[in-house]
């Protein structure tokens, strides 16, 4: 009985607290696979065309059998090196052939290695824009171009977030505002500009790549930040975990699975070999 009371109290606390994320143990599989939920996968720094990217692609197709996501968001550096039409086949269409054939929609953002003309590539669903927004049920997604954060884009972000009545607001772009990786780390200048806007308009989750590792940060100003820049590239041993790190993995390529239902966002970070290296739930903060 006392255990049941404690569990009820814990659930009540979770439901009323501002945005917070609770990590489940890697063995837990918090993805509920609920019928009305938004289901998506996340990849970042993927477009190498090398074997690990193909293995991640196969692992994503396997994961889709148990968790039928219909959307993949791409955190930039979608293609490395040459970007001729054949490269889009070799570094995107072939690694994710199974998903593309199943009708999964990819929504890309641009990284520093991407040709700006990539926004016209149909399968990236960018509509020819450097930054754009789309909705899935009660979730508003904003794909931003963190390479060039001009005044026009900033005004657009503010306007789009202000107008959004969606329960969840998720922003994704290439350069991380928070990261404990050694090579790049946090983009503090971007953070100084973007974070006040995100906080003001109630953004719940921010996803980025650029650092070739997986990291989940402890909530910062009510926002949960993820870095997943290891879906093709990998910088082994690059993480310098700090007190802001909630979970991290830099030993293998990864991708993420996300399910959003009502006030909960469940997530898993899955390695190239199919191991769940991080999982948990982010609870939506109440509107102020």
Partner 1 sequence: MRHHGISPHPHPHSNAHSHAVTLAHARRSSRTSTTASTATTAAFQFVIDRFLLLPIGVGIAIVWANTFAESYFRMSHALSFVVNEVGMAFFLALISQEVLEAVMPGGALHSWRRWGMPLVAAAGGLAGAALVYLAYVHVAYELMLSQAWPIACAIDVAAAYFVMKTIAPRSGALPFVLLLAIATDVVGLAIVAPRYESYFAPDSRPTGTVLFLIAIGIAALMRASRVRAFWPYLAIGGTVSWWAFYWVGLHPALALVPIVPFLPHEPRSVDLFADPPDDDATHRFEHEWNTLVQGILFCFGLVNGGVVFSAYGTGTWAVLTAAFVGRPAGILIAVGLAVAAGLHLPRRIGWRELIVIALATSSGFVFALFFATGVMPIGPLLAEIKIGALATAAGALLTVAAAWLLKVGKFAPPRHARPHVSSEVS
Residues that bind partner 1 (CB under 8 A): 80-83, 110, 112-117, 146-153, 175, 183-193
CB of 86 to partner 1, least distance (A): 15
CB of 193 to partner 1, least distance (A): 6
Phi-psi region of 213 (alpha: psi -120 to 50; beta: other; left: phi over 0): beta
Closer CB to partner 1, 119 or 216, in the complex: 119
Closer CB to partner 1, 186 or 253, in the complex: 186
CB of 240 to partner 1, least distance (A): 11
CB of 61 to partner 1, least distance (A): 28
Nearest to 231 by CA among 64, 117, 76: 76
Q: Which two tokens stand for residue 146?
A: 């963190």
Distance separating alpha carbons of residues 189 and 118, to the nearest angstrom = 26
Q: Tell me how far the alpha carbon of residue 200 is from its chain's centroid.
A: 21
Q: What is the CA radius of gyration of the chain?
A: 18
Q: Which residues of 165-200 are buried (b: 16+ CB within 10 A; e: fewer)?
A: ebbbbbbbbbbbbbbbbeebebbeebbeebbeebee
Closer CB to partner 1, 215 or 268, in the complex: 215
Closer CB to partner 1, 179 or 230, in the complex: 179
Distance separating alpha carbons of residues 17 and 79, to the nearest angstrom = 40
Label residue 128 exposed, middle or buried (CB < 10 Å: 0-12, 13-18, 19+).
exposed
Closer CB to partner 1, 150 or 159, in the complex: 150
CB of 189 to partner 1, least distance (A): 5
């Amino acid at each position: 009985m006392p255990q049941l009371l404690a569990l009820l109290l814990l659930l009540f606390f979770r439901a009323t607290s501002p945005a917070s994320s609770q990590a489940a143990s890697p063995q837990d599989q918090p993805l509920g696979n609920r019928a009305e939920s938004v289901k998506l996968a996340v990849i970042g720094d993927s477009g190498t065309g090398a074997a690990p990217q193909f293995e991640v692609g196969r692992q994503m197709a396997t994961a889709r059998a148990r968790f039928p996501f219909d959307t993949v968001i791409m955190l930039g550096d979608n293609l490395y090196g040459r970007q001729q039409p054949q490269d889009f086949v070799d570094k995107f269409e072939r690694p994710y052939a199974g998903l593309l054939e199943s009708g999964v929609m990819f929504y890309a953002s641009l990284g520093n290695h991407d040709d700006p003309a990539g926004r016209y590539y149909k399968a990236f669903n960018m509509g020819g824009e450097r930054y754009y927004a789309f909705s899935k049920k009660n979730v508003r997604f904003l794909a931003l171009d963190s390479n060039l954060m001009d005044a026009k884009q900033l005004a657009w972000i503010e306007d789009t977030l202000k107008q959004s009545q969606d329960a969840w607001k998720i922003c994704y772009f290439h350069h991380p505002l928070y990261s404990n990786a050694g090579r790049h780390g946090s983009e503090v200048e971007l953070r100084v500009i973007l974070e006040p806007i995100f906080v003001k308009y109630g953004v719940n989750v921010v996803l980025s790549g650029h650092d070739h590792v997986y990291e989940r940060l402890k909530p910062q100003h009510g926002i949960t930040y993820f870095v997943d820049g290891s879906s093709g590239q990998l910088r082994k041993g690059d993480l310098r975990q700090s007190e802001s790190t909630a979970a991290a993995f830099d030993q293998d390529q990864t991708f993420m699975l996300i399910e959003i239902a009502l006030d909960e966002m469940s997530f898993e970070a899955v390695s190239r070999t199919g191991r769940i290296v991080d999982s948990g739930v982010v609870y939506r903060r109440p509107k102020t």
